Amino acid sequence: MSKKIKIGLILFLLLSSLLPLWTVSADVGPKPGMDFEFKQGFSGLPLTITSGILFECEQPDCQDAKPLERLGPQGFSCGATSCSALAYGFSTYHRLEIQFSDGKTRQSNVFKTAQFQSSYQVTIRQDDLLVEPKLSLDWYSPITYLLLCACCLVGVAILIVAIVLIVRRVTRKK
């Protein structure tokens, strides 16, 4: 073998030994989330959130409720006036249990997952919580795709009408 081939072969072996032997994968895909905005539905001192739990359920009455586990990025957390959740996947039904600065722990009604990225309005009442979904358009929502398709169809229809009018005008001039 020539000297150039030997050097090239040695360089190739050295460089290929630096490459990893196993492929590495990471969980970088989008994850469903929930945002909860709280408003007080009765007069009195403003309440703040001290702690909270998001229960996950498969049954509509939430008899099988289990708290959302903290697993890596998955979990449920609260600030003074809002809470949020991120999960690898949510159950069909949910219920909130929030403790407030007045010492009371209030439970919410059972509610369904609204969207991939859901927003909810939570009304703090004297003895419980009322969770209602807020309409929001996100890129994972079927509503967003339907609106986008409708806009595209309208755009195509306008383009076809414009082309027909231009062709008619050009053929009349001849």
d(CA 125, CA 96): 13
Q: Supply the mean pLDDT for the chain.
A: 86
End-to-end Cα distance, the chain = 78
pLDDT tens-digit readout, 49-88: 999 999 999 999 999 999 999 988 899 999 999 999 999 9
Looking at the predicted structure, is the pLDDT value of residue 24 above 80? no
Tokens of 68: 């959302």
Q: How far is CA 16 from CA 2, 11, 13, 23, 32, in A?
A: 21, 8, 5, 14, 40
Q: What pLDDT was estimated at residue 84? A: 96
pLDDT of residue 103: 93
pTM for this entry: 0.64
Question: Order of strands, edge to edge, in the sheet holding 33-40?
Answer: 75-78, 82-86, 33-40, 117-124, 129-134
pLDDT beyond 60 at 156:
yes
Write down the CATH number for the domain with range 33-134: 2.60.40
